[in-house]
Amino acid sequence: MYSVVYLPGAKRQLTDAAVYIAEELASPDAAERLLDTVDEVAESLAEMPYRYPIYPTLHAMKNEIRYVPVMNYLLFYTVHEEQKSVEVWRFLHQRQNVLRP
């Protein structure tokens, strides 16, 4: 079993998405469903982190970046085998520019 750790930026992006859905779109139930779904995905990553594909990049990366679709979003993560951990890097809407920091 792997531990799942969210980087601060990924936590902020997830929180921002939930707040946007709850407040701007006036749909707190949808925001809660999103958070519940992300929790389910995190649990599945703890069990089988290699189940999702590697994100194709043009540049060499120190670690493979993997991604999993979560509703209308993409959750990006890396697996650290030596620490038995999954590190969530980003949580973006599918239409956002993935390359922008």
- Give the number of residues written for the chain: 101
Q: pTM of this prediction?
A: 0.88
Per-residue confidence (pLDDT) for residue 16, from 0 to 100:
96
Q: Where are the domains of the chain?
A: 3-93
The structure tokens listed for 42 are 């995190």
The structure tokens listed for 69 are 């679709």
Per-residue confidence (pLDDT) for residue 36, from 0 to 100:
97
What pairing do the DSSP bridges indicate for beta strands 85-93 and 3-6?
parallel
Q: How far apart are CA 14 and CA 34, in angstroms?
A: 9
Per-residue confidence (pLDDT) for residue 95, from 0 to 100:
81
Per-residue confidence (pLDDT) for residue 57, from 0 to 100:
76
User: Among 56, 55, 91, which Cα is nearest to 73's?
Assistant: 91
Per-residue confidence (pLDDT) for residue 56, from 0 to 100:
85
For residue 69, the cross-strand partners are 74
The CATH number corresponding to 3-93 among 3.30.365.10, 3.40.1010.10, 3.30.2310.20, 3.40.228.10 equals 3.30.2310.20
Give 10-residue mean pLDDT values along the chain (101 residues). Answer: 96 97 96 96 96 84 89 95 95 76 51
- Burial class, 73, CB count within 10 angstroms (exposed 0-12 / middle 13-18 / buried 19+): buried
Per-residue confidence (pLDDT) for residue 58, from 0 to 100:
72
